[in-house]
Amino acid sequence: MSARILCLVAIVTLAAPSVSAQMTGASSGGYKREAGVSASTMPAPLREIGFDQNIGDRLPLDTTVVDEDGRSTPIGRYFGSRPVVLVFAYYSCPMLCSQVVNGLASAVDVLSLQPGRDFDVIVVSFDPRDTPATAAAKKALYLERYTSAGAAAASHFVTAPQPSIDALTKAAGFRYAWDKETQQFAHPTGVIVLTPDGRMARYMFGIEYGPRDLRLALVEASGGKVGSVVDALLLYCYHYDPMRGRYGLAIMRTLRIAGASSAIGLAAFVVVMLRREKRARV
């Protein structure tokens, strides 16, 4: 099968429509403002929050967190052999955090990648008032949506004291603020895909995540150790757009593949015809 056909088959098979993010962060962080809304008219907490894409920076893996069973452990315990999807969400959040966690559960549930073998999920609360009990309760709700084999063991909902929260959010570029008026946290929405050694690789914004984008991010973060040949070809056909936090079709690369496969096909056709002509003469 030619590279052109492979690329087209991969695109048709795995491409999923991207869902517009309710909130997005660009490389400079912050919300995507609606047309006609100036920064000065936005509530103060909203002007302080966002994602700074610290791609290539390493998460401080010696930072202490507390798991659902109440055990203190370095967050590095969950790294080492496979990529990680990292989420910042506080467990008493009345709306957005639940939507982020549910959106992630829906996305990973349809992936053919296996949790615990190909990737892990870590949800870190940035509210120091959260406890192992609230973490366990949120995980139980998450697992109602994420039912794949191995999901429970590969999903880690943790809490942390304020110094650990500060260290992790700063390293990841997650900026949030406490809103005194609403008595809630204002925060961006999205997930971060990290390499097995804890480096930020890809940021995905909003509350819903295309399975194709998430899969490509995990394959890319793993250095090709997870996924298939089709995934490797898709990564050549698609490129990551940091402003949108998703993958888009790389037109020039696709055209190169199409051109190369056409040239190879033409050369093969010429060889076959020359051989037939030679046999006919004999």
Residue 177 in this model has a pLDDT that exceeds 80: yes
- What's the whole-number mean pLDDT along residues 110-134? 96
Could you tell me if 75 and 122 are in contact, meaning their C-beta atoms sit under 8 angstroms apart? yes
Closest CA to 100 of 198, 199, 25, 13: 25
65: Cβ contacts below 8 Å, ≥ 6 apart: 72, 73, 74, 75, 124, 158, 159, 160, 164
Contact present, 175 and 26 (Cβ < 8 Å) = no
Sheet containing 200-205: order of strands: 155-158, 120-124, 84-88, 190-194, 200-205
pLDDT > 70? residue 104: yes
Residue 94: pLDDT band (50, 70, 90) is confident
In the predicted structure, residue 232 carries a pLDDT above the cut 90 = no
Answer yes or no: are the C-beta atoms of 23 and 277 closer than 8 Å: no
Mean per-residue pLDDT for 23-30? 39
Structure tokens at 46: 């909203």
User: How high is the pLDDT of residue 226?
Assistant: 74
**pLDDT higher at 160 or 274:** 160
Question: Cα–Cα distance between 274 and 191 in angstroms, integer?
Answer: 56
Q: Where residue 248 falls among pLDDT bands split at 50, 70, 90?
A: confident
What is the pLDDT averaged over residues 194-200? 97
Residue 191 has pLDDT above 70, yes or no: yes
Q: Is the pLDDT of residue 215 over 80?
A: yes
Which of the four pLDDT bands, split at 50, 70 and 90, describes residue 9? Answer: very low
For position 10, what pLDDT does the model report? 37
pLDDT digits (tens, 9 = 90+) for 28-38: 333 344 344 45
Highest mean pLDDT among 37-46, 128-137, 246-255: 128-137
Per 3-state DSSP, what percentage of the chain is helix, strand, and coil (rounded to 5)? 40, 20, 40
Look at 238 and 26; give whichever has higher pLDDT.
Answer: 238
Between the alpha carbon of residue 128 and those of residues 61, 72, 139, 185, 212, the distances in Å are 19, 14, 17, 12, 34
Torsion of CA 146, 147, 149, 150, to 10 degrees: 40
Residue 69 reports pLDDT greater than 90: yes
Cα-atom radius of gyration of the chain, to the nearest Å?
22
| pLDDT tens-place string over residues 47-61 | 789 999 999 999 999
Asked whether the predicted pLDDT for residue 92 surpasses 50, the reply is: yes
pLDDT surpasses 60 at 249: yes
pLDDT(62) > 60: yes
Fold of 19-210: Glutaredoxin (3.40.30)
DSSP string, 62-127: T-EEE-TTS-EEEGGGG-SSS-EEEEE--TT-SSHHHHHHHHHHHHHHT-SSPBTTTBEEEEE---
* DSSP output for 127-174: -TT--HHHHHHHHHHHHHH--STTHHHHEEEEB--HHHHHHHHHHHTE
Section 255-266 average pLDDT: 51
What's the pLDDT band for 270 if we cut at 50, 70, 90?
A: low
Separation CA 274–CA 271 (nearest Å): 5
